Amino acid sequence: MRIAVSTTNGGLDDKVSEVFGRAVSFTIVDVEDGEIKSIEVVRNDYAVRGGGAGIAVSQFLADKGVEVVLTGNVGPNALSVLNSAGIKVYRAGGMKVSEAIEKFLKGELEQILVPGDPKFGRHRRSV
Amino acid sequence: MRIAVASGKGGTGKTTVAVNLAYFNGIDLFDLDVEEPNDHIFIKGESKEETVYRKIPKIDEEKCDFCGICRDVCEYNAIVVLKDKAYTFPELCHSCGACSYFCPRNAIEEVDKPIGKIVEISSDIKLTYGLLEIGEAMPTPLMRAVKRKMGKKAIIDCPPGTSCPFVESVLDADVCILVCEPTPFSYHDLKLAMGVMKKLDKKFGVVINKHGLPFDIESKIQAPILGKIPFSREIAEKYSRGELLFDYEDLFKEIYDRAVSL
């Protein structure tokens, strides 16, 4: 299973960022039988562009074959794309990445079904 | 000659100057502040309306093979293409038409989306203004539609600020009048507006509104001063009632004469 986590510097020791579309990076992990098999950190080039960052990132993650997203908040447009792509989104803002993944695998994270405010991350990219 | 009335800071008196300038000099008025037009409060008469549209893509999923070219050419992230789905975000679309142009399967049709209306008021002078639909993000396509109604002689009431809508509204003007008030805030934004004028290579002059307030803006302005409107409760009251400033007819004629001879 491929999980994408919104992060800043990226990696398992980083924290899950509160923003989705304008997260600085995404830490993408492949999990098999409850174990992390591979880790990839991707810089989010859409974060610094104009409108529609959440949409573009969602598209990017869908193309990457991501099935689950762990993040803090996700806006309406991004959530709609993620839903259409069959990607499930779980709330894990502020948690350590490794801990968030662990909690997700144990089924302890809350699924995000209702979007947060649009443009939440627009001016908070450093968070 | 087309004269644009702009400011930078909002609330300095663009509308006061624009409506009185147009009325007392018998020139047609164009309110390009399509997000919040208000010249019609001062110029009343019979009105005529027409709807304005812009093009947005419509994807025919029968023809689409989800190749993703449309998404890749879209500069505004307005199209998403998944394995078996393609859809658009019209509010992000800038109507450039690239998606339909590059679609190899002719699966994208450009369809009309209403973005607002043009209202024309016949009075002693003619007022034309745009009214943007609520929720529409871009004012400039509607502004351009209003501008197509403009003749060689016009007074243009511009939106506040110094960003795209401001630039769009002064682009076709021969001369620009920047309205300021004696406050540090207005002076700050006036400098920004003057900077844009210089970049656009436009002739401009300044009208000081609310003249008499204690901040000395006059000696700081490095541009021709076209006129000064006094700080007066009476003017504010007339404005709030939607009345023109008949006591200042001569002043607005002078401002016009000075603007055309810049």
Q: For A2-12, what is each residue's pLDDT tens digit?
A: 999 999 999 99
Q: Kindly provide the ipTM of the predicted complex, given to two decimals.
A: 0.80
C-alpha distance from A127 to closest chain B C-alpha (Å): 23
Angle at B230 between CA B229 and CA B234, to 5 degrees: 110
Output b/e per residue, A43-65; b: 16+ Cβ within 10 A.
Answer: ebebbeeebbbbbbbbbbbbeee
pTM of the entire structure? 0.78
Question: Which residues sit opposite B111 in a β-bridge?
Answer: B56
Closest CA to A73 of A7, A21, A4: A21
Q: What percent of the residues of chain B are helix, what percent strand, and what percent coil, each to the nearest 5?
A: 30, 30, 40
Instruction: Please give the share of chain B, as a percent, with pLDDT higher than 90.
Output: 97
Q: Measure CB to CB from residue B80 to each of A46, A49, A55 and give the nearest one.
A: A55
In chain B, the domains with their CATH numbers are 2-45+133-260 (3.40.50.300), 53-113 (3.30.70.20)
Q: Measure CB to CB from residue B92 to each of A52, A84, A85 and give the nearest one.
A: A52
> Which pLDDT band holds residue B124 (cuts at 50, 70, 90)?
very high
> Which pLDDT band holds residue A123 (cuts at 50, 70, 90)?
low
What pLDDT shows up at residue B185? 96
Residue A127 confidence (pLDDT) above 50: no
Instruction: Give the domain ranges of chain A.
Output: 2-38+47-108
Q: Under CATH, domain A2-38+47-108 is a member of which superfamily? A: Dinitrogenase iron-molybdenum cofactor biosynthesis domain (3.30.420.130)
> Which pLDDT band holds residue A118 (cuts at 50, 70, 90)?
confident
> Which pLDDT band holds residue B8 (cuts at 50, 70, 90)?
very high
Question: Is B92–A53 a contact, with Cβ atoms under 8 angstroms apart?
Answer: no
Residue A126 confidence (pLDDT) above 50: no
Asked if B72 has any chain A CB less than 8 Å from its own CB, the reply is no
Q: Which residue of A has its CA nearest to B85?
A: A84
Q: What is the mean pLDDT of residues B200-222?
A: 97
A-interface mutation test, from B59, B77, B92, B94, most A Cβ less than 10 A away: B77
Residues 197-236 of B with CB under 8 A from A: none
What pLDDT shows up at residue B137? 84
Residue B9 confidence (pLDDT) above 70: yes
Bigger pLDDT: B96 or A127? B96
Q: At CB < 8 Å, which residues of chain A contact B?
A: 46, 49-53, 55-56, 58-59, 62, 77, 81, 84-85
What pLDDT shows up at residue B146? 97
Q: What is the mean pLDDT of residues B180-199?
A: 97
* Distance from C-alpha of B171 to C-alpha of B151, rounded to nearest angstrom: 14
Q: For B36-87, what is each residue's pLDDT tens digit?
A: 999 999 999 999 999 999 999 999 999 999 999 999 999 999 999 999 999 9
> Which pLDDT band holds residue A124 (cuts at 50, 70, 90)?
low
Residue B125 confidence (pLDDT) above 50: yes
* Distance from C-alpha of A21 to C-alpha of B58, rounded to nearest angstrom: 25
Q: For A30-83, what is each residue's pLDDT tens digit?
A: 999 989 999 999 999 998 877 889 999 999 999 999 999 999 999 999 999 999
Question: Which residues sit opposite B80 in a β-bridge?
Answer: B87
- Chain mean position to CA A27: 8
Residue B241 confidence (pLDDT) above 90: yes
Q: Chain A partners of B80 at a C-beta cutoff of 8 Å?
A: 55, 58-59, 81, 84
Residue B98 confidence (pLDDT) above 90: yes
C-alpha distance from B102 to closest chain A C-alpha (Å): 19
The answer to whether B5 and B14 have CB atoms below 8 angstroms apart is yes
Residue A125 confidence (pLDDT) above 50: no
